[in-house]
A and B are shown apart, each in its own frame.
Chain A
């Protein structure tokens, strides 16, 4: 076998760069609580949760070409599941988490069945309507959701109640979920997703049941959105209709496009920008929504490939320059 004797290929420059950046990011991530004050660590925890949520949106939007405008509906249901068991039933944390995840997955399944046969704009429209229904129900079903005033006193488990303990937990969950997501997008399943994005009709011709794959990826994305929802409930220690609102869904889509759709890392970076921006700007003005709108439109018209897209173009040019110099 030729393959057995072939030496391992040396890591390319870009792969080495990526690996060292990743290691540096993880090390920095774990040492930050030593340096930063509590409010910044809290903001970082929020960014990581939003990042996980944006990565889940990216699995659908960036990899499969199905942009979900109602993903916060799933996140919201999971958060309300936690909040309901905690605030209304006073159940233990294990029960809160299980109910949150199960509620999120159940809703994901129903939404997935509805959306799986739609494509492109129809998918956006259907998911938008789904998210808005959850948002509307969050207001109206006050016996369960507490209506406008939401569910209070959703306490974190004892072991992660301090801000830095909570940050470490969120960071660990994010790393684990990112690893899983990277495995998913690099698997044969991930290739099928990209195939659906590039041409669903052709994938059908090749014998792939794309409807089934779309439901499948919707469920996978819904799982990560539910995890983000559970984390979100404990992060705020409070659940209100805003968690399922359109600003939340749109914020994640913006993070995805801003960072670079279909890259997973991009949405994480995008979420950092969006969450920081939101946090800082909302202290100065009530009109956060319209600023988001302007950024949204600007990014879509002028920078649709996102930050990672721009970086990779720059890198390829640089590499092309190098190879011509060598010759």
Chain B
């Protein structure tokens, strides 16, 4: 393999991993605190992305699009948590099944509003095209995503470990009863974390909408990738999300390049291996 092709796939893999990190971090955060596996996460991504697409098409501003996509996903997250999940709190199976029902509904909402054609979020001039470094050309937008993900990872780490809100959330992960006994309204924390996770998914949707196309069924593709990330990395762990995203992004990129017909299978193998050896993922905690 030529080194040029290798670097291209490396950047593809890293940027895909970066995109998956936005999704997986929200997914894992929601699970860590609330023990809910939010299978509507892919739909939050898709609807956020579509909202970003429309905003970018109207205003021509990517940052406004990101804001709009994040906000739309946040509102959907709020509605899901307040109206539906609250009624089945504590029953793990019921919670997961409700989020699957939400997925079906949101899929039709997206289809009714944005139709079946693939959509791509417009990327401004200064972020498109290649960036030349030495002998190699890198796509600017992919570099942009990678930088964003690094900033996001640092930001999330600081938020979780250096702030009061982070301390409350960490305490909630360990013992929710004790947190509510300390006078903290745990229900409000739950809602907040769920919205935050949904916002991350919507954010990922707009960013991903500039990289991949948004189309019906896309929520399941991205959900599968996120599931594989958290299955490999371990649910509820931020470091697991980082490592899992990187692994899955790289496997996916190199798999698509070399065995395009089997691109799903290249993910399946590592997932199977991890599940047999570490059923809770590389960084998952025993519960």
Contact = CB atoms under 8 A, between A and B. Distances in A.
A binds B: yes
Contacts of A246: 100, 220
Interface residues of A, number: 39
Interface in A103-157: 110, 113-115, 117-118, 120-122, 124-126, 128-129, 132-133, 135-137, 140-141
Contacts of A125: 37, 96, 227, 230-231
Given A121-B93, A129-B224, A136-B224, A297 B275 contact: no
B272 interface: yes
A67 interface: yes
A52 interface: no
B201 interface: no
A67 B91 CA distance: 13
Given A121-B96, A133-B264, A140-B263, A289 B108 contact: yes
Contacts of A129: 224, 227-228, 231, 271
A300 B72 CA distance: 26
Contact of B92 (A120, A133, A289, A301): A120
A300 B275 contact: no
Interface size class of B (residues with CB under 8 A): 35 or more
A255 to B, nearest CB: 13
Nearest to B260: A140
Given A115-B275, A137-B264, A253 B97 contact: yes
B135 interface: no
Contacts of B227: 125, 128-129, 132
B93 A120 contact: yes
User: Binding site of B, secondary structure by majority: helix, strand, loop or mixed?
Assistant: helix
Contacts of A110: 272
Interface in B258-287: 261-265, 267-268, 271-272, 275-276, 279-280
A278 B147 CA distance: 47
Contacts of A250: 100, 104
A120 B31 CA distance: 13
A136 B217 CA distance: 11
A290 interface: yes
Nearest to A69: B100
A137 B235 CA distance: 26
A207 to B, nearest CB: 21
Interface string A230-265: 000000000000000011001001000100000000
A294 interface: yes
Contacts of A199: none
A287 interface: yes
Given A290-B104, A301-B98, A122 B279 contact: yes
B103 interface: yes
A121 B107 contact: no
Contacts of B230: 125
Contacts of B88: 300-301
Contacts of B145: none
B105 A294 contact: yes
Contact of B107 (A141, A289, A296, A297): A289
Contacts of B268: 133
Given A114-B275, A121-B92, A300-B88, A132 B224 contact: yes
A140 B264 contact: yes
B109 A290 contact: yes
Given A132-B220, A140-B263, A290-B109, A126 B37 contact: no
A290 B224 contact: no
Given A287-B108, A300-B97, 9 more contacts: A67-B96, A114-B271, A115-B275, A118-B279, A132-B224, A140-B263, A246-B100, A287-B111, A297-B102
20 contacts: A69-B96, A69-B100, A110-B272, A117-B276, A120-B93, A121-B92, A124-B93, A129-B224, A132-B224, A132-B227, A136-B221, A136-B224, A257-B97, A287-B108, A287-B112, A290-B104, A290-B108, A292-B101, A296-B104, A300-B94
CB-CB nearest 6 A-B residue pairs: A293-B104, A290-B108, A296-B101, A297-B101, A117-B279, A293-B105
Interface of B: 35, 37, 39, 84, 87-88, 91-94, 96-98, 100-105, 107-109, 111-112, 220-221, 223-224, 227-228, 230-231, 235, 261-265, 267-268, 271-272, 275-276, 279-280
